[in-house]
Amino acid sequence: MFTRTESFREFIRFYPIVSIIIAIHLVLYLFTVLPIFPNYWFIETFSGVNLYIKEGEYWRLITPTFMHSGLAHLVFNSFSLLLFGPALERMLGSGKFLVVYLVSGIIANIATLELEPITYTHVGSSGAIFGLFGFYLAIIMFRKSWLSKQNSQIIIVLCAVSLIMTFLQPNINITAHLFGLMAGFAIGAIPYFNKRDFSDSMKSVVNWAESNRKKLSYQSPLKVIIWGAIIIIAILGFLIQR
């Protein structure tokens, strides 16, 4: 579920929203490091600064979700999205997945605005990614048939470790993590999807799995090892980033 076997083209076709978000991460990061805008104009204009939001720059409630403070921050957050986003986008459909992601990120940023000091500045997609974790927890609690027991255990352990590390690591936006998680959980807990929508979604997943059964059954051990290493690195990296 959390390992990818698709080619690059298949990945973009199956998971367009995840692909677009990761592309935006990369483009915006390049804008912050290339000598196109003097004096770090781009990150200064689109990062989350509570003072400026209070003064009416409300786009900063959205744009920080796509900005990152360094290459490691960008890579680890993007890997986390790449690993845990596709399965949820496949389950929900691209439109609903985008709603969960954006609403979780915006709520995390609003909470940061209201609860952190007026001079507080932040960037990063962690709040939105925690929203995905929260939605997974809602699935585990209210829609157990959506996930296997093994995948549910992976999500629970990851969320528990992520929350613990949130309070132990320095320079972490604790408010964004907590409220992003709660926002995703709340969205997932709402009876948002009717049975017919869910049935249609599950049929599409089953049909896709059946059509790719042979391909999935003959993955080389090396490819499995590489993806396993990527998952471990991404999880550890995500936990130590802001």
- Burial call 8-27: b when 16+ CB within 10 Å, e when fewer: eeebeebbebbbebbeebee
| CA–CA distances in Å: residue 165 to residues 131, 132, 172 | 16, 17, 9
Catalytic residue (choose from 125, 177, 199, 204): 177
- Residue 25 sits at the vertex; the CA angle it makes with 55 and 181, to the nearest 5 degrees, is 70
Catalytic residue (choose from 126, 145, 162, 204): 126
Q: Where would I find the H helices in 55-194? A: 71-92, 94-115, 126-142, 149-168, 174-189
Concerning whether 177 is annotated as a catalytic residue, the answer is: yes
SS3 content of the chain, % helix, strand, coil (to 5): 80, 0, 20
Concerning whether 122 is annotated as a catalytic residue, the answer is: no
Catalytic residues, which ones?
126, 177
